[in-house]
Structure 1
Amino acid sequence: MQIEQYLDALLLLMVSIAAINDLATRRIPNRLLLVGLAGALVLHGLSVDPGAALLSALGGMLLGLAIFLPFYLVRGMAAGDVKMMAVVGFFTGPADAFQIIVLTWCAGGVMALLLVVLRSRVKAALVNIGHMLFGIFVPGTKLSDTAPAQSVGSMPYGLAIAFGTIVVLVTHYG
């Protein structure tokens, strides 16, 4: 088995555990992400070209962090989701991380719409989106000024990240 297959197997295991835990507790354990990150670091270090593998891993991690961190800063996403996407990016590198991010956004959007509609929270969700957009697009706005009026409920975004990751992994082998 090649290093890439070990990486994919470990990544699949990590996102599956994270998704199940997020569904059950609305938390993604830091310990799980650290173990995944350490495993990926070791496997990248054992690859044929460890320098290139680690550089690509760092690129994927930075991409995941850079794209998800702004959502955390405007209170649109939890810190565990940001950390999970950064670790997923470390496993995959930037090209696959970008595909995972796009698929995650699609899955997360569908999940959010379903939850908002099922909870009858459409009006509150639209108000909250307005607050977030205001904080992003109006210069000089403090984060405290963009706090949502009320939460429409938490969402296990780790499930969406796992979905995006699994779809990309399946396309590698399918």
Structure 2
Amino acid sequence: MATIILISILLISFFTDIKDRRILNIVTLPAIAFALIYHSVTGGFSGFQFSFFGFLVGLGLLFIPFAMGGMGAGDVKLLAAVGALQGPAFVFSAFLYTAMIGGLIAVLILLKQGQLMDSIKRILFASRLRTLDIVDKKELHHAFPYGVAIVLGTFIVQFGGWIQ
């Protein structure tokens, strides 16, 4: 049942993030609540711990990028929902694949726009990169809906057989 909910929230989030650049609370928050209740009912207190720690890992992995302004709260809540549904080890693996896919998408966008070398130079020669506040807001046109990377990374782990 948790897998069906996972696939549902991933597909909905994929399309809403592409179309509206939003991941909806009406999708993620009920999924988190469902996961906590479902795992508590089916696994007792250890089921609750499994789901709760998965939620915390998913939340924690993207909290710093969110706090620095690098992504939206919907992305954080989506990964937290993945963790609540599938547990801490799963969400950590999904995060690793998400990061690789997100990096690949970013490189492809920069290549397509002819901005890859300029971006590499800015990164290499930046003297202080403490916060994304130093990035000119006009440069954020390179940003993309990161929910897409979260969905793809999670699908790889769910259906790729890398984690059981």
TM-score w.r.t. the length of structure 2 is: 0.85
The number of equivalent residue pairs is 160
Percentage of pairs with the same residue:
27
Is residue 151 of structure 1 aligned with residue 145 of structure 2?
no
TM-score, normalization: structure 1? 0.81
Match of 1:56 in 2: 50
Match of 1:35 among 26, 30, 55: 30
Change (3 A) 1:129 1:62: farther
Does the aligned pair in 2 maintain the 1:75–1:147 contact within 8 Å? Answer: no
Q: Is the 8 A contact 2:32 2:80 kept in 1?
A: no
User: Helix, strand or coil for the counterpart of 1:134?
Assistant: coil
**Match of residue 116 from structure 2:** 122
Q: 2:76 — aligned with what?
A: 82
**Deviation >4 Å, runs of 4+:** 128-131
- Tell me whether 1:97 sits opposite 2:91 in the alignment: yes
> Structure 1, unaligned stretches of length 5 or more?
1-5, 136-142
Aligned residues of 2:55 and 2:88 also touching (Cα < 8 A):
yes
Structure 1 contact 22–158 (Cα < 8 Å) conserved: yes
SS in 1 for 2:143: coil
Aligned residue identity for 1:167: I
When the two chains are superposed, the root-mean-square deviation of aligned CA atoms in Å is 2.5
Structure 2 stretches of 5 or more lacking a match?
none
* 1:69 and 2:58 are equivalent in the alignment: no
